[in-house]
Structure 1
């Protein structure tokens, strides 16, 4: 009978072999040499099928603290033969487990057949190297049909890496997962896990929307920052057809600047703003855009007495005198615009792989631009 059969001893570990062991004829000779130096096996690993695998207590105890406790715990039996039962998994999986304990190796064929059982054994007997190997194997062969079963297993075996991978696959292919037998079994027998999956999907979608909204806001802040730069540039130096209000238009800069697309659109709005008859009562949509840009510039500018941007000093004095309730909102918007520009400059500098001192200098100059650092206190 199978219960009386004794399988050959597994190959022992070679101390210098590493996690993958040695390869080739040298490895085989080293194993045979090390095997001859080992004492006789003093413990038997017994499987569910009755197979008895001879082993050595010192090796088992050195690899697994759980096996160490099982080997050296007091026994009520008077027999001198030590037995370690490993039940509930196929005999060949137990043999592969003992093989790994000795040699820190496991063939691809064994891993493909028994990775689920080996993961359970690695978790129960605290063998982290084997557990990591099994998790990597299961991640590579994860499918829609097996994802629910592996998700349950990852929770039982405390493998957050595999659990997260399973959750992401369920999220990306939820409609296909819903049609599997594993999902139907989950709905009837583990509603708490189903709730956790739905909660994860909801959180992922919310995070995706939040990230998109933040990206859109960042893009808007960068556009506002560029428009403010162009406004100050037009009102100070002049560009193509529009120049400073206290200078002759003929002396305005005729050649296009580096931000010509933004400057051209802003010049069109400025010419419309100067000629529009509705601007006194709030104006049309174009006039309102110019008013907002002027208001934002006034909130940022720290030299209103010498600033050449129209209405800068008047808008700042009016805001201080009337203590408008929306002043805090404008200051917050100005701070976000300055921060977005600074972070964009820092990101571009890092992508160009500049030296750290150059990146910090650029960030400092961007923060001081238009009084961005001196005008606002982020801590309050």
Structure 2
């Protein structure tokens, strides 16, 4: 039975001029093709065709060269040849991924593309298989991706495993893997564990960065309240502003905290301790203590210098690290929109207290 790739490359003249017969497994099918198309698509096929033609010339044989494609079904081999013609005729990319041959024979085409070194077809097969991944097929596809050195497909399989692992555990493929290849099961579980650790570290860093940004915003509001005043609290001899500022939630929380701090006389008050920490953090960040209107700024600055001198320049301190992080967050927040990075919480007073407690 003979058939040609005329559907992709233009007609009977191309098929009539073929000089290669692609023979499938067991010699049951012959597919007419052109050596120029196969050789330009695959260096492996080019080498095979060259050796066959050289051998035929030495033996005096005439006729078409024979290229055998084994290990896949006859239909998959024919689809592979048609896909090579589709790429030669400008059909690479999305059109090939959505073709009927790719839908039916994507896995076997991936094996052949890897074996015959056709990188563009390999990428198309990865995309087509990845788009149809399910919990039932992901284990088999993951093993195929590892055998065919397909990193994009391997990554998509790993992501689906992490997302739907409970569903994958109930599949027949996973049970077969557990019974017959425990090392592969261990490798998959280890990869999922490492991915979970990376995801947790990323979330923890994001949460820490959010805390530093919140504290940076609180420092800006504290300087604003002590310099210009806002609604209820303002510097001595100056009336507070009548209209609230753009950071009303944070300013409102700080004003309530300042009013409580000025009236409370308990030594073990948690709210007062938060205010002391905020004032100390402000003094560590303030670069103009002589002109600063924030209460106790100069006093905290002097005590901090004495503490650093007593430690002989030892910077291994959680407080020093906190100051550095908040200062960096202040720089970054000035370069980007604050609202796009993290929306303000409803209570700034509660926010500032939790932030300082989380960081020690």
TM-score range with shorter-chain normalisation?
0.7 to 0.9
Q: Contact 2:15–2:33 (CA<8 Å) still a contact in 1?
A: no
Matches within 5 A, 1:335-374: 335-348=324-337
Task: Point out which structure has higher relative CO (alpha carbons under 8 A, 6+ apart).
Answer: 2
Q: Contact 1:12–1:34 (CA<8 Å) still a contact in 2?
A: no
Q: Which residue of 1 aligns with 2:19?
A: 42
Among 125, 141, 156, the alignment partner of 1:134 is 125
Q: How far did 1:42 drift?
A: 3.0
Please give the per-residue CA displacement for 1:60-107, whole angstroms capped at 9, x wherever unaligned.
212110011112226499472532211111111111112222343668
Residues 327-336 or 171-180, more deviating:
327-336
Alignment partners' CA distance in 2, 1:346 and 1:234: 23
Relative to structure 1, the CA distance from residue 240 to residue 115 in structure 2 (aligned partners, 3 Å threshold; closer, same or farther) is closer
Alignment partners' CA distance in 1, 2:7 and 2:264: 91
Alignment partners' CA distance in 1, 2:273 and 2:116: 71
Q: Which residue of 1 aligns with 2:176?
A: 185
Q: Contact 1:272–1:287 (CA<8 Å) still a contact in 2?
A: yes
Among 4, 8, 11, the alignment partner of 1:31 is 11
Q: What's the C-alpha RMSD, in Å, of the aligned pairs?
A: 2.8
What SS does the corresponding residue of 2:220 show, helix, strand or coil?
helix
Alignment partners' CA distance in 1, 2:338 and 2:255: 30
Q: How far did 1:152 drift?
A: 0.6
Q: Which residue of 2 aligns with 1:9?
A: 4
Relative to structure 1, the CA distance from residue 111 to residue 183 in structure 2 (aligned partners, 3 Å threshold; closer, same or farther) is same
Alignment partners' CA distance in 1, 2:31 and 2:13: 21
Q: Which residue of 2 aligns with 1:378?
A: none
Q: Which residue of 1 aligns with 2:199?
A: 208
TM-score normalised per structure 1: 0.76
Pairing 1:240–2:247 present: no
Among 157, 162, 165, the alignment partner of 1:174 is 165
Residues 101-110 or 204-213, more deviating:
101-110
What SS does the corresponding residue of 1:84 show, helix, strand or coil?
strand
Among 242, 258, 267, the alignment partner of 1:270 is 258
Matches within 5 A, 1:292-371: 292-323=277-308, 328-348=317-337
TM-score normalised per structure 2: 0.80
What SS does the corresponding residue of 1:343 show, helix, strand or coil?
helix
Alignment partners' CA distance in 1, 2:127 and 2:118: 15
Among 129, 153, 163, the alignment partner of 1:162 is 153
Alignment partners' CA distance in 2, 1:99 and 1:137: 16
Please give the per-residue CA displacement for 1:238-282, whole angstroms capped at 9, x wherever unaligned.
2233222xx336x34344333232222222222222222234xxx
Relative to structure 1, the CA distance from residue 316 to residue 112 in structure 2 (aligned partners, 3 Å threshold; closer, same or farther) is same
Gapped regions of structure 2 (runs ≥ 5): 341-360
Alignment partners' CA distance in 2, 1:350 and 1:44: 65
Relative to structure 1, the CA distance from residue 79 to residue 124 in structure 2 (aligned partners, 3 Å threshold; closer, same or farther) is farther
Alignment partners' CA distance in 1, 2:132 and 2:121: 17
Gapped regions of structure 1 (runs ≥ 5): 1-5, 15-29, 352-380
Pairing 1:218–2:209 present: yes
Alignment partners' CA distance in 2, 1:161 and 1:318: 57
- The runs of at least 4 aligned residues of structure 1 exceeding 4 Å deviation read 33-36, 74-77, 324-328
Q: Contact 2:19–2:35 (CA<8 Å) still a contact in 1?
A: yes
Matches within 5 A, 1:249-268: 251-268=239-256
Alignment partners' CA distance in 1, 2:42 and 2:158: 30
